[in-house]
Structure 1
Amino acid sequence: ILLLSHIMKLLTKWRSPAAVPDRCQGIEMDAVTVNEDGIPYFFHSGFLFKGFHGAAERANETFTELDEHQHLGHVDAAFRLHYEDHPTEHNNIIFFLDTQIFSYYQHKLEGGYPKNISEVYPGIPDHLDAAVECPKPECEEDSVIFFKGDEIFHFNFKTKAVEMKEFTSMPNCTSAFRFMEHYYCFHGHNFSKFDPKTGEVHGRYPKEARDFFMRCSKFSDDSDHVERERCSRAHLDAITADNEGDMFAFRGQSFICKEVNDTLKVEPIELTFKEVKSDVDAAFTFKDDLYLVKDEHVFAYRVGENHTLLDGYPKTVKEELGIEGPIDSAFSCDEHQHVHVVKGQLMYDVDMAASERNATNERSIMFPSDAAMCGPRGVTLVKGNHFYHFDTLKLLFSRAVPERHQVSLELFGCDH
């Protein structure tokens, strides 16, 4: 029996490459949640997608005990527990599989689990479709919303009471997700944003999940690609601003230009910067020219109606910035002749007037960034779906973390 069990596990782990799902093919997710660091986890048929782009991996590679309990084929529902009154449970990731519940902390199964759903959540049915946490004051009390077919259950952590709800304006959810204090019901490869108390859906929904929660290339002529980039949850690769106040941002294959009058334009990178094509690592402006860094090379463009690659470019990162590539971000401020290069949590200064450039003055900044820019009001660091503003360069090296802002809402004017 033990040998047979071992053989079955090996057979289950093995799949041909064609069996690995592609999130850009419009697949339906079984469950969606975030981990302890706020990184989205998307589950589909025993596979796990981490973040908004990247290949699938086996879910049991991250949550190993799922393998031991032979629930490899699916996850019914999942959420990150938000229950600050009980710190021993707060931030656990909860999985529902058929009749059982699994509770993980930092990717390790908690003692005593799995348990029956009825033991932990009395009054909640088995074989759920979706679940999502709803902390107060977003709900009246710290709660979980459970979905099974067209039945909606609000479970109150404090009293253990279950209240049935009618969310008439919502489709049946196959997974549900709380992200950046908003609530999303996924159905097929579409989603709708809803009010967790009433289930009301406001705005133009459903929308295509691949436009906002996955970094996929263009796949539909019906998509509003300006809104897609304005409201996408996929992190920016690079960002910068010119002396006129226009902002340039890069994400995957897209170039986003936000003019000083708030007009937003979105174009393919390969159309505007054909030498770069896609996937920019960093961007900065210096003396009216726009510099794009990709892998080991720097491309410099004269900005105009048609962005023109300057003579002699591309150059290597080492030659242009005096540091081995790749880098994470870079920015320059108007009053300086230096470009500040960020690699991991270290920042360097590069004197652009020097005939032989070197990255000098190494020091640690507050946290690594996906993108960065400098303007008249100070320095902006972008990390994931948020950005942080520092009034002066010196504040980057302090310990006081500034207020966190949403990229989609406050940089690009999305409504959520």
Structure 2
Amino acid sequence: MTQLFLPLCVACLALVFTSAAPPPTTQTAEVAIPDRCDGIEFDAITPDEQGKQLFFKDGFLWKGFRGPAQRVAESFSGIGHVDAAFRMHREDRTEDHDHVYLFQDEMVFRYFNQTLQDGFPKKVEQEFPGVPCHLDAAVECPKGECSADSVLFFKGSEVHHYDVATQTVKKKEWPEVPPCTSVLRWMEHYYCFQGNNFTRFHPVTGLVVGAYPKDARAYFMTCPNFGHGSGDHKLPLCSEVKLDAITSDDAGKTYFFTGPSYMRLDTSRDGKHAFPVTRMWPEVAGGVDAVFSYQDKMYFIKGDQVFIYLSGAHYSLIEGYPKTLQEELGVQGPVDAAFACPGDHTAHIIQGDQMKDVDLSATPRTVTKATTLRHAKVDSALCGPDGLKLFVGSSYYEYTATSELGAGQVERMPSPITPSMMACRRD
């Protein structure tokens, strides 16, 4: 590895504290509270320990995607303006994991529950060897999204990829990514902010896919007349929700699909938000009929085709797919719902009031059992450690095992979909 020689940042520690607030004067000018809907340029963005996104600008911060600004000093003592920020991901070291790092000039401050930790602030070089000071931006990159738990530090056109465990740095230049004034990791995606615009990029390759830049006010905050922040935008009524498909992968990520959109349901720390299906699974356009997960793979059924993706932070379509339903699962379409239970090798394919069991461990795959259901129509189904749920319209039915689904079994009472389950509002 090429050793990096970086100039040491020289400054008196006392300057850090005097820069956190102006010296006392007999007349102190009032500083105008910024409005992020004016299209401002953020100095830094990071989630806190609870997952709430913090947006920093000129000694002020916003907590979350809506609400007014407050002074940084009200939440983080000892620091004024913030140049860069990130939340550490390091589950093997509880003394570091979920701590928030704020950077100011040559110094770095570490907080937990908004309390400055002993021994801080420190010189950047002291805490992160090989990383330059006067940073523009920083962002965590957990293992699975990067090859190891890492931090990406941005300065000018350079990206310094810092391996947390080995404390080694690799310097990169990503021509497709503009110079970032702040960087946000949200829902396993990475966003470079420049001015009031942002560009989504891959954290390993720096590749940019799609039409960028885009205006942050339409996506990451609530602003009148801007996209998701528009005053005309409302969540659907829970009584109007209809799920086309729902599944949980082996990593515990739960997705539901409706029309051309999907949403993660296990992201309470990041909030619930809908995205186009093609954003994560680009080959599947226009919605899906059914989805199920099996052995680190996700099966998408659309029409008479099956798309199989390898699970992970970035899903990848297996070579040779899509294939026909008949070729892959031994059934003819259409399919209303499908599910597979954890640790089981059976895919349960629901068509009308019929459920067909397919042995996924056999080659070729054929139907091994057919069951007549007590439900005439099922929209989607999810099987997990806590049992089985069948979704019909805006309601769901709970069962403990597939053996309870037959037409002759005890009838279950439906439960309504609620706002705590997914993004919808009560009637």
Give the TM-score category using the shorter length: 0.5 to 0.7
- Tell me, yes or no, if the aligned pair for 2:177 and 2:206 is still in contact at 8 Å: yes
Distance 1:95 1:12 in 2: 31
11 and 139 in structure 1: CA distance in 2 versus 1, 3 angstrom threshold: farther
Where do residues 15-414 of structure 1 align in structure 2 (5 Å cutoff)? 16=30, 19-66=32-79, 72=80, 74-218=81-225, 228-229=227-228, 239-242=236-239, 262=259, 375-377=394-396, 393=415
- Tell me, yes or no, if the aligned pair for 1:49 and 1:56 is still in contact at 8 Å: yes
Q: Which has the larger radius of gyration?
A: 2
- Tell me, yes or no, if the aligned pair for 2:162 and 2:170 is still in contact at 8 Å: yes
Q: Deviations over 1:274-329 (max 9, x none)?
A: xxxxxxxxxxxxxxxxxxxxxxxxxxxxxxxxxxxxxxxxxxxxxxxxxxxxxxxx
TM-score, normalisation: structure 2 = 0.52
Stretches of structure 2 that go unaligned for 5 or more consecutive residues are 1-17, 245-256, 262-392, 399-412
Matching residue's letter, 2:122: K
7 and 193 in structure 1: CA distance in 2 versus 1, 3 angstrom threshold: closer
Distance 1:13 1:217 in 2: 36
Q: CA deviation at 1:168?
A: 1.4
Helix, strand or coil: the match of 1:377? strand
53 and 144 in structure 1: CA distance in 2 versus 1, 3 angstrom threshold: same
**Percent identical residues:** 42
- Tell me, yes or no, if the aligned pair for 1:76 and 1:95 is still in contact at 8 Å: yes
TM-score, normalisation: structure 1 = 0.53
Deviating runs (4+, > 4 A) in structure 1? 5-15, 241-247, 391-396
Stretches of structure 1 that go unaligned for 5 or more consecutive residues are 67-71, 220-227, 248-259, 265-373, 380-390, 397-401, 412-416
Helix, strand or coil: the match of 2:218? helix
Matching residue's letter, 2:58: S
- Tell me, yes or no, if the aligned pair for 2:191 and 2:199 is still in contact at 8 Å: yes
Q: Deviations over 1:365-389 (max 9, x none)?
A: xxxxxxxxx913369xxxxxxxxxx
- Tell me, yes or no, if the aligned pair for 2:396 and 2:416 is still in contact at 8 Å: no
- Tell me, yes or no, if the aligned pair for 1:31 and 1:44 is still in contact at 8 Å: yes
- Tell me, yes or no, if the aligned pair for 1:213 and 1:233 is still in contact at 8 Å: no
Distance 1:158 1:7 in 2: 35
Distance 1:12 1:178 in 2: 43
39 and 244 in structure 1: CA distance in 2 versus 1, 3 angstrom threshold: closer
Helix, strand or coil: the match of 1:65? coil
- Tell me, yes or no, if the aligned pair for 1:212 and 1:233 is still in contact at 8 Å: no
- Tell me, yes or no, if the aligned pair for 2:395 and 2:415 is still in contact at 8 Å: no
Aligned residues between the structures? 248
Matching residue's letter, 1:50: K
Q: Deviations over 1:328-370 (max 9, x none)?
A: xxxxxxxxxxxxxxxxxxxxxxxxxxxxxxxxxxxxxxxxxxx
Please tell me the root mean square deviation across aligned C-alpha atoms, in Å. Answer: 3.8
Distance 2:225 2:416 in 1: 41
Structure with the largest fraction of helix: 1
Q: Deviations over 1:103-131 (max 9, x none)?
A: 00000000000000000111111100000
